[in-house]
Amino acid sequence: MSITAPSGVQTTDPNKHGYRSYSLGEFKFTRDEYFAYVEWPTGKHVMSVDAFLKALQRDVAWQFFYGIVNFDGVVGTVNHYGTVDLFAGRYNDVYRKAELDHQENFETSIIKTTFEEMLDDWTNDGFDPFASPTETGSAFGAKHGENRAAITRHRVTATRMVSIPGDEPLRNDDNGHPVNRHFLDVSQEEPEKYPEPGFEDEINSFNLFAYLSRSQVTWNPSVVSVCGDSLYCPTTEEYILPIIHGNDRVEWFIQLSDELIWQVEDRDAGTARAKVTMRAGDVAAMPADIRHQGYAPKRAMLLVWENADPALPALISSGQLPSVPVEL
Ligand code: PHB
Ligand code: FE
């Protein structure tokens, strides 16, 4: 039976596996023990529910991120910063040519609340969609419990810089951030600071490698420093980025440790463009017209450098700015 929740979310009573279904416009989402199903007027799609929840978790936590969050090659969201498109087959040449693609636009608050409630209902006790495969339990089976602590964990977004008094704190054993098993060799020494009198509030430094070695999660860029629109968003990676990110601006990647492999495709058609292997010290600029998915054979540290200027998507899509930052 269809129910309107107090939040306005369109849902149903639990099915025989214990999970509610959700509707957004003409899209319908259901889950069973293994799979998430997405239906729209011209099609139906199935994904493994662990992959679906890992993508959903990031879309919710990142408030729909920059540009496009593809859950896979078929379904995803486009952020218009105030409204969000939910689409199926829109960025997939085969669906487009067969005219089976579908998209609808929603106020951000409506799709966000629906996604949050679906994530909450479909995440079982013991499964953490942000954790690496060997550091979490299973997403599968009939509904059992919840993992609200994991799915609503605080997202680090510094206003100036991590470790400045009043801003995001450093991580340590006591605040629930032990050093990850792959980073036991990372020095935990903090830099010494000697600001001149009167400049105590303007000089700061911290050990970013130590900070990242204590991350609980994977594929989740944190804002650790802000200078105008320039955001340093480092992250620790292991296994596969659970979304395929379609850019609406250039992103710079600086590989801080270990190795990542990036599959780079055309943003709109999904056709292959490049495979990029990045080793510690490598720097790459990802163009504004691509989509990409990263692979990490072991836990690795990556610095994602974002330009948050809200004027960029329109300047690039109208051709006033190029989609690459440098011509070589
Ligand atoms: C990206 O899409 O650029 C991205 C997303 C999550 C990460 C790293 C990179 O952890
Ligand atoms: Fe990206």
Q: Which of 86, 90, 111, 110 is nearest to 100 (CA)?
A: 90
Predicted confidence at residue 77, as pLDDT, reads 98
Q: What is the mean pLDDT of the chain?
A: 97
Distance 214 CA to ligand 2 centre (A): 23
Q: In which band, very low, low, confident or very high, does the pLDDT at 326 lie, cut at 50, 70 and 90?
A: confident
Which pair of tokens denotes residue 66? 């920059």
Tens of pLDDT, residue by residue over 2-22, are 899 888 899 999 999 999 999
User: Ligand 1: which residue has its CA nearest to atom 7?
Assistant: 219
**Which percentage of the chain shows pLDDT scores above 70?**
100
Q: How far apart are CA 56 and CA 121, in angstroms?
A: 12
Predicted confidence at residue 1, as pLDDT, reads 73
Distance 251 CA to ligand 1 centre (A): 9
Distance 10 CA to ligand 1 centre (A): 31
Q: What is the mean pLDDT of residues 19-28?
A: 98
Mutate to test the pocket of ligand 1, among 69, 70, 223, 304 (most ligand atoms within 8 A of CB): 304
Mutate to test the pocket of ligand 1, among 132, 233, 241 (most ligand atoms within 8 A of CB): 241
User: Ligand 1: which residue has its CA nearest to atom 2?
Assistant: 245
Q: How far apart are CA 75 and CA 150, in angstroms?
A: 24
Tens of pLDDT, residue by residue over 180-198, are 999 999 999 999 999 999 9
pTM of the model: 0.97
Predicted confidence at residue 134, as pLDDT, reads 96
Tens of pLDDT, residue by residue over 120-178, are 999 999 999 999 999 999 999 999 999 999 999 999 999 999 999 999 999 999 999 99
Distance 195 CA to ligand 2 centre (A): 36
Predicted confidence at residue 327, as pLDDT, reads 84
Predicted confidence at residue 6, as pLDDT, reads 87
Ligand 1 atom at minimal distance to the Cα of residue 218 = 10
CB 249 within 8 A of CB 317: no
Decide if pLDDT at 48 tops 80. yes
Predicted confidence at residue 5, as pLDDT, reads 87
Tens of pLDDT, residue by residue over 222-275, are 999 999 999 999 999 999 999 999 999 999 999 999 999 999 999 999 999 999
Predicted confidence at residue 40, as pLDDT, reads 98
Q: What is the mean pLDDT of residues 73-98?
A: 96
Q: What is the mean pLDDT of residues 85-99?
A: 96
Decide if pLDDT at 52 tops 80. yes
Helix-helix angle 108-122:49-61, to 10 degrees: 140
CB 249 near ligand 1, within 6 Å: no
